[in-house]
Amino acid sequence: MELIFKKSDLQIIFDHCLASVPNEACGMLGGRDGRVEKAYCMRNAKPGPDYYEMDPEEQFRVMKDIRDSGLKMIGLFHSHPMSQAYPSSVDVNQAYWPGTQLPNYPDVVYVIVTLMNRAKPVARGFSIEEGKVNEVTLTAV
Ligand SMILES: [Zn+2]
């Protein structure tokens, strides 16, 4: 599995993550066929250095914009200001409706940006399915 970004979109994501330090930043990715066409930088409604939650109203507006643009929500991103780019146990739990194995967003790629080196943010992608984490290759073009 692979997710393709425009370099400019990746930079928009990195800038948003850096601007939100020391807290986590989050956003959504609209695209099609494994290509990100639009990165949406969003508000962290419950900001913390190891936590994020999207604002439901903003999420609704972004999902509508994605649909209106003829795209699909193909990914979510958030930052880890002080830890590696790998899903935390909270991230894995949040991929499901509480208490179930039903994915919140089937077939999305979870992109995590680590800011451990502020001068050089690194993004990695993952699928979270049935509680299992698998890496998805991110390519910038
Ligand atoms: Zn996380």
Q: Which residue has the tokens 């962290």?
A: 44
Model's pTM, two decimal places?
0.95
Say how many Å lie between the CA of residue 126 and the centre of ligand 1: 11
pLDDT tens, residue by residue, 28-38: 999 999 999 99
> Ligand 1 is a single-atom ion; what residues have CB below 5 A from it?
88, 91
Residue type, 50: D
The DSSP output letter for 17 is: H
Say how many Å lie between the CA of residue 66 and the centre of ligand 1: 23
Say how many Å lie between the CA of residue 8 and the centre of ligand 1: 23
| Total Cβ atoms within 10 A of residue 63 | 15
d(CA 97, CA 71): 24
Say how many Å lie between the CA of residue 32 and the centre of ligand 1: 24
Q: Please give the average per-residue pLDDT across 92-102, as a whole number.
A: 83
d(CA 92, CA 103): 10
Look at residues 11, 12, 44 and name the one whose alpha carbon lies nearest to residue 26.
44
- What pLDDT band is residue 47 in, cutting at 50, 70 and 90? very high
